[in-house]
Amino acid sequence: TQLLEQSPQFLSIQEGENLTVYCNSSSVFSSLQWYRQEPGEGPVLLVTVVTGGEVKKLKRLTFQFGDARKDSSLHITAAQPGDTGLYLCAGVGRETSGSRLTFGEGTQLTVNP
């Protein structure tokens, strides 16, 4: 079983602060995705990273895939209350692409105005 561990589990910050969320595994993934889930809704895909060392930027969000494709990070600059939500990382195993997308437990982010 390929497990993804996210940290921190909970994060509460003030508007304007920066933060980083981590997603780690002992397994190699062929790709890794980040989703954001708001209360009462399903998760929504933010980004997919595929290549080791890859960095993708989405406005104030920066995603990085580790060189060994075992970990990823999400950095948010100047957080805003609209960034509040549950952030989930999910990996596609190197041996079994598509069949079972493994999710981390999530990081619950609260940005206070």
Partner 1 sequence: GAGVSQSPSNKVTEKGKDVELRCDPISGHTALYWYRQRLGQGLEFLIYFQGNSAPDKSGLPSDRFSAERTGESVSTLTIQRTQQEDSAVYLCASSPRSLYGELFFGEGSRLTVL
Which positions lie near partner 1, rule CB under 8 A?
Answer: 6, 30-31, 33, 35, 40-45, 48, 50, 88, 90, 92, 97-106, 108
**CB of 32: closest distance to partner 1 in angstroms?**
9
Give the nearer residue to partner 1 in terms of CB position, either 48 or 62.
48
Gap between the Cα atoms of 33 and 89, Å rounded? 6
**CB of 101: closest distance to partner 1 in angstroms?**
5
Give the nearer residue to partner 1 in terms of CB position, either 82 or 98.
98
**CB of 25: closest distance to partner 1 in angstroms?**
14
Angstrom CA distances, 14 to 26, 44, 58, 88, 104, stand at: 33, 24, 21, 21, 25
Q: Which residues have a Cβ under 8 Å from the Cβ of 79 and sit 6 or more positions away?
A: 13, 15, 16, 17, 18, 19, 60, 109, 111
**CB of 112: closest distance to partner 1 in angstroms?**
19
Give the nearer residue to partner 1 in terms of CB position, either 34 or 79.
34
Pick the closest to residue 7 from 16, 19, 17, 15 (CA basis): 19
Give the nearer residue to partner 1 in terms of CB position, either 14 or 51.
51
For tokens 């940290």, the residue is: 7
